[in-house]
Structure 1
């Protein structure tokens, strides 16, 4: 290392960069700690409520608990300067007729953001999460739906929609691996067709690859991370699943080409 490089690393810029990195690391680990405590509190509450409440009531209360917990967690992330959230457009969906909420899926925070604003929404989740002892108790209390087996998932999704609930379903089936958006699965069109409901597209835009596909929880992102959610086109109930999936994917590709997303693969922290 030459003298000039040493001066840069030990001078004001170097000190500032080191402090910033330390603060970001603290925020990251504090965020994970608080999330774990919230999940533990929700799980303990869910155990008690499932034992004493009838199914219909426990599902309604469970979804309210998820919404309150998710909103509180996002508020905490914002207050400590880790994230900025612009989610106001989701509020327009409250009280609307039953429909499928179909967002892109850049990170693990996506469902948390959407459910924080929609207190009566069901959610299709990976079976591993719903079956998980730590994370799954609250999901089961809220009546969230496993993504396998397919036939059961479709039947339960249609039933929930017929009861008047929104259904959160990520058309990609997993987090985006090829930006701006990955290939769409046929599940969204299949459930919408069988339930006779509209599909409301939702666009999640972010300036970071944090908790995206391939992101390690040990990596510290540059903060604050910005998330913005905007509503897209609302599609009528499809008549042909295959054509609908193609139309949906083309629409997402066109819209997300202008979104504020990082190029992929994301530059990983050293």
Structure 2
């Protein structure tokens, strides 16, 4: 019986390695399809750039949801969401989340009705991801004043979609609960004066972290737990909400402590 169990586990492990490789190959192919076929079609259907971005975002939302459901069906992962209704009704909010795995943004965008997103240079220029992120009008994180203003403008548009940002700036290092928070999210929140929607993400066992190859999979399917928390108003956090370095620093520290406590529960 022991030998049979070991054999079953090995077969399951190699199946999940192959299924994970297939999943990421499918994701890359989907990115190329969006770049080569869907993006030009969107431009033909919608003349205004903002309308093009909205349509592309909806296509990406359904593509990402399908990708996650495929990984679940293949036995690679499971996930559950607490407070999903808060995401489904999130418009014009700054959605901030910790970043334990490679697929966090895919999960979040797949769950939201529509979302803008901050992306790093690597995704903006990658052959397989630049098509989706550019056609959706996602914002390139250059760490500049123009970047901050672009985020604020997106949030303050009429009937604006929410903006997703990961304050850590990159995936959490393996073995750590959180990386230090960069101040971009706090800076944007202070300038836009919109509600902050915190989302905590846990992955058990840990996988797809920073500097971890896709084929370094755990010995069992991983489970992602997403908890959508109540919105936070800045004037309930800080006594003063003027945009200055001191308030940005204080808000950033407060947000880090908030996530640190939440993930320690």
Answering whether residue 92 of structure 2 is matched by residue 78 of structure 1, we say: no
Contact kept, 8 Å, 1:175 with 1:213, in 2: the verdict is: yes
How far residue 183 of structure 1 moved from its aligned partner, in angstroms, is: 1.2
What TM-score do the two structures reach when normalised by structure 2? 0.87
Q: CA deviation at 1:19?
A: 1.6
In structure 1, list runs of 5 or more residues that go unmatched.
1-6, 259-270
Query: Quick one: which of 231, 253, 258 aligns to 2:260?
Result: 253
Q: C-alpha displacement at 1:200, in angstroms?
A: 1.0
Provide the rounded CA distance (Å) in 2 between the counterparts of 1:223 and 1:40. 31
Q: Name the residue aligned to 2:93.
A: 99
Q: CA offsets, 1:99-148, max 9 Å, x none?
A: 11000000110000000011321000002211233311111111100000
Q: CA deviation at 1:162?
A: 0.6
CA positional deviation for 1:42: 2.0
Asked if the contact 2:196/2:233 (under 8 Å) is kept, the reply is yes
Which of structures 1 and 2 has the bigger CA Rg?
1
TM-superposed CA distance for 1:224, in Å, is: 1.8
SS at match of 2:196: strand
Per the alignment, residue 22 of structure 2 pairs with 30
What CA deviation, in whole Å up to 9, does each residue of 1:27-66 have, x standing for no partner? 2222222222222222223431354232011100010011
1:97 and 1:70, CA in 2 relative to 1: closer, same or farther beyond 3 A?
closer
Most deviating of 27-36 and 108-117: 27-36
Task: Give the superposed CA RMSD.
Answer: 2.0
> Does residue 1:172 correspond to 2:164, yes or no?
no
Q: Map 1:58-207 to 2 at 5 A.
A: 58-87=52-81, 89-163=83-157, 164-177=160-173, 179-207=176-204
Q: Secondary structure at the match of 1:116?
A: helix
Tell me what 1:266 maps to. Answer: none
Q: Aligned to 1:202, what secondary structure does the other structure show?
A: strand
Q: Given the alignment, which residue of 235, 250, 264 partners 1:243?
A: 250
Equivalents in 2 of 1:151, 1:46: separation in Å? 32
SS of aligned partner of 1:235: coil
In the comparison of the two structures, how many residue pairs are matched? 250
Q: Is the 8 A contact 2:121 2:141 kept in 1?
A: yes
How far apart, CA to CA, are the structure 1 residues paired with 2:19 and 2:209? Answer: 18
Q: Which shifted more, 99-108 or 240-249?
A: 240-249
What are the ranges of 5 or more consecutive residues in structure 2 without an aligned counterpart? 242-246
Aligned partner of 1:55 among 37, 49, 57? 49
Partner SS for 2:180: coil
